[in-house]
Structure 1
């Protein structure tokens, strides 16, 4: 469209300048006249003001307020003017701030109205539908209604995901994964907690608070937090069925295979052999140490005999066929299998998965029904106990599914599973397939990865695509440097119309026309340059939104938590020093209110 410009020539510009000056003078005089009269009246010197005219403007400028408000102290007049100025400036500043924030917010992203289901009222209503224990209660704590994601930019409100959502977070190192996501999730959890990590920072910050809720179980076979061994988990406990044995074998295979979607002959054959050996050990009541002996000596017929005694003839025949095959093939399969479980050759790691008469046993089926906390800590790289970590994490989440089915379909309170460094220390091969199922069972899973490519390296492109699709809430933080992935995100965020003016000057004056063009809401370079502490929120059925994460150290009560974290960090340092000097640890049993393991 075309419209004449108000500043088309010099005469028009001068006219508008005169009008502007006149309006400004009138506004200032009105403020001074009203404020002076107000000050005079409030101090008891009368409400009669000077005439409201141009003569008063000149007298006020030349003689001051004494001649215009006779008998009124100048301080009272000036005080009234100042008070009125403040009263008018405050709402104007609030209105200006509102429009400034609206102008500064990226156009084309979701706002408060579109995110109503994730705002406090909407998420509370959803929580009452999902959690029967909340029905009938008038007041709910915000943490009972859902998981805090952050604050909508630029000025709120806070947004939460429901307990049926499953979350995938992609952020670079030191972009706020621990401080803004992992630690708050653990601190605010309502039910049982499961955390995996390759560092001790989340453990140190949250341990003290979680001890107030229940038993704290620390599975630390490689000394990440240098915790004394105060528990054991039965590695073969889930291997009495072929499915359970195959799943455990898959976790060990995945720990050494970067892409589970691409298994060569040796990897597949090693998984089949491990499945048979795990099943034989579980059915035959053998130990993990016995299983390692069978792997070291393929000619040992004990596992074949145990499988036959258990009635698993087909499995026994398959294992025997592997043993009787060509020597080169048999040795290749067994060597591959030995490599996958090599971490169990470390006696320190083996002790954590071997029955210990003087220590309590961790039982996943009991854990998911309470408010206890399980920390699973392991290094990544060579010698990693990732296969064991994945096994116990998978057993715990599967126990949650069974418990949910017995409860009528959903855990209440929900189980919170924070899989930090999932691609390094918790490679559950079929996690993408289980993701959406967990959400429907009240198992709130949060998977933290450094990049999309890191996940694709573990689960394959198709597996990572499935994980991405199954996650109902996705947070993309700072430091995403994968150009192809960032371009895809920019496409998903979409485009918006940009109004572009064009000025045309001619003999008849100046006209202005407007045209519209499509522009990306968030170009790839802006997504890559997201500031630390912010994240792009992608929720199912809602346009993307930009949020600010809420780091734990900026929340109420952070001082006490920080003090406890420093004490725990000091204790970790002391335990590390003792381990280096060879001083043995005392092995305290887990303690906590109402624990079924106490005594």
Structure 2
């Protein structure tokens, strides 16, 4: 019980009018429900007097004393009908109020996200894609990339195909099911996916075959696919820039933090640049290039560079060859370690000309609706340098094609760089991000943490990548305390209302004060539920969204059946391959 003079006793006087209001509502329902029942049964409009005697008769069940011509069940049925009719708008209003109260305080609401919703999004899509201007109606996938639903109950949010995205989430937080798979399935144009697992491949491959050709580049047997294509590794190395970029990808695959290159790494990149250039300009193969690396005294690449008019590059390579033996051998050994994956004949076969299989040409791929899966293991012996080289070739081909189209690809190309820090270390990716979106190349880079990106691109590179991304999704399981604290500061603070009650001899009083608190403290950001993400979009306040996993969409049953068939095919191919290896056959 509340003590005399306590806060609880302040509300006791309200019990009397509250009780009177309840009786009034009950009386009104029974009175009006009975009158309607009399009218419906053909006895005309006969409202009863609004008196205490009538109320007691209706409450006690003696409706015959008021309306003798109407059965009691019709009177009470009319009252129940009124309750049901009146409760519908009340429930809608209550749900709206509850949803409003459940919305994260001080985070963006639907009114602030108009650029990611509805008509404004469609208008922007028409401006970016000339092919949509004459279409009377656009499908949602024509207007942008699906991000998810605004918490707690929508609406659906989509980014523009001009946006470039950076997603940070821990393993099993929804990167594949909620981001990678939907992006591949819904892409309107060409697709490129990198991964070190076969999960996205198995779910999406069958669906992508319905819209275009599927190319699977799987040199290490992630999905145990047979080799049905080849890509000319040296095709883009006929210029110094192209040769240096390819060399940089191989160097980055073995060198954490590409911004920190010691003497041996830098010298190895210079040497590989010269060798790639010599092989490409002279039409030599990758195996010939490996032979030059194995024998530093071989003058063939120097002579080939001179023959094609690259005298300065030839002199530089010759200076390395003629230097101190210890220095020369150290440089060449470092270079050999960078391209060690090419010693595997199964990997080399994927990047060497093969007259019996079709060649993958990046310049053609970016103009259609084909799909390229780039699969590689991470860790020792990975083909990450080859994967990064091919991914970079596709992106550069997209940029060139966009320039020929007047500025942007139409339809836009989707590049999902899953496990980018492990299997697709494009050394200058932070620099590329700043303009890829404006070229119609929608890039999504998926990392497990901010620190993982720092390990590959360095602090400055990761900061540049973070700043250039116009859409950032931060999911569950981010354990980097410094980074999460930084995000909490970016989300900002809000005023928290704090009521205070005090009591004295003269009575009780109530006052209100305000204090500043973080909208989302670091511990809440770290503890975001799986399947949700904090959305940081350029120009609007942060918002909390719920990802849309592919298996919760309307066509999930059909996709699941195709995925099961794909998994079964992989299992059979794996068993066949291991059987061949046990019997002494290669491949």
| Length-normalised TM-score, structure 1 | 0.95
Structure 1 residue matching 2:111: 3-state secondary structure: coil
Structure 2 vs 1, CA of residues 504 and 200 (structure 1 numbering), >3 Å: closer, same or farther?
same
Partner of 1:347: 345
SS of match in other structure, 1:479: coil
Equivalent in the alignment of 1:581: 579
Matched residue, 2:334:
336
Runs of 4+ in 1 over 4 A off after TM superposition: 7-12
Corresponding residue of 1:236:
234
Shift, 1:45, TM fit = 4.3
2:12 & 2:282 partners in 1: Cα distance?
Answer: 100
Q: 1:216 corresponds to which residue?
A: 214
Paired with 1:522 and 1:266, the residues of 2 have a C-alpha distance of 46
Q: 2:387 is matched with which residue?
A: 389
SS of the equivalent of 1:229 reads coil
Q: Distance in 1 between matches of 2:120 and 2:556?
A: 27
C-alpha RMSD of the superposition: 1.4
What corresponds to 2:147 in structure 1? Answer: 149
Contact 2:201-2:373 within 8 A present in 1 as well: yes
Give the number of equivalent residue pairs: 578
> 2:386, 2:8 → 1: CA distance?
81
- Which of 514, 517, 520 aligns to 2:515? It is 517
CA contact (8 A) 1:8 1:509 kept: no
The one of 265, 268, 278 aligned to 1:267: 265
Aligned partner of residue 238 in structure 1, secondary structure: coil
Following superposition, the deviation at residue 32 of structure 1 comes to 2.1
Please list every run of 5 or more consecutive structure 2 residues that lacks an aligned counterpart in the other structure: 583-587
Change (3 A) 1:25 1:216: same
| Counterpart-to-counterpart distance in 1, 2:298 and 2:150 | 63
Deviation per CA, 1:144-174: give whole Å up to 9, x if none: 0100101111111101000110000000100
**Within 5 Å, which residues of 2 pair with 1:22-33?**
22-33=20-31
CA distance in 1, matches of 2:246, 2:9: 86
CA distance in 1, matches of 2:372, 2:464: 27
Partner of 1:528: 526
Whether the aligned pair in 1 keeps the contact of 2:30 and 2:58 (CA below 8 Å) is no
The answer to whether 1:425 aligns with 2:442 is: no
1:299-348 per-position Cα deviation (integer Å, ceiling 9, x unaligned): 01000000000111110011011011111111100000000000000011
Deviations 1:55-112, CA, capped at 9 Å, x for gaps: 2221222243333221212222222111111111111111111111111111100011
Match of 1:380 among 378, 381, 389: 378
Instruction: Spell out the pairing of 1:172-187 with structure 2 (5 A cutoff).
Output: 172-187=170-185
CA displacement, residues 185-227 of structure 1 (integer Å, 9 cap, x when unaligned)? 0000000000000010100010011001111000000000001
- Runs of 5+ unmatched residues, structure 1: 1-6, 585-599
User: Residue 498 of structure 1 corresponds to which residue in structure 2?
Assistant: 496
Encode CA deviations 1:352-379: one digit per residue, 9 max, x unaligned: 0000010000000000000000000000
Deviation at 1:9, TM superposition (A): 7.6
Question: Per-residue deviation at 1:13?
Answer: 3.7
Between 575-584 and 216-225, the greater mean CA deviation after superposition: 575-584
Aligned match for 2:125, one of 105, 124, 127: 127
Alignment partner, residue 365 of structure 1: 363
Q: Is 1:252 the counterpart of 2:250 in the alignment?
A: yes
Structure 2 distance, partners of 1:125, 1:60, is 60
CA deviation map 1:120-153 (0-9, x unaligned): 2111010011000001211011100100101111
C-alpha separation in 2, matches of 1:133 and 1:349: 40
Shift of the 387–91 alpha-carbon distance from structure 1 to 2, 3 Å rule, reads: same
Q: Separation in 1 of the partners of 2:104 and 2:380?
A: 45
Whole-angstrom CA distance in 2 between matches of 1:158 and 1:111: 12
**Alignment correspondent of 2:585:** none
Partner SS for 2:511: strand
Q: 1:483 aligns with which of 474, 481, 500?
A: 481
- What CA distance in whole angstroms lies between the structure 2 residues aligned with 1:39 and 1:379? 76
Q: Report SS of the residue matched to 1:582.
A: helix
Q: 1:91 — aligned with what? A: 89
Matched, 1:290 2:288: yes
Q: Is the 8 A contact 2:61 2:72 kept in 1?
A: no
Whether the 8 Å contact between 1:9 and 1:509 is mirrored in structure 2 is no
- Cα pair 2:474 2:535 within 8 Å, conserved: yes
Equivalent pair of 1:192/1:371 in contact (CA under 8 Å) = yes
Cα offset for 1:17? Answer: 1.3
**Alignment correspondent of 1:592:** none
Could you tell me how far apart the structure 1 residues matched to 2:227 and 2:446 are?
27
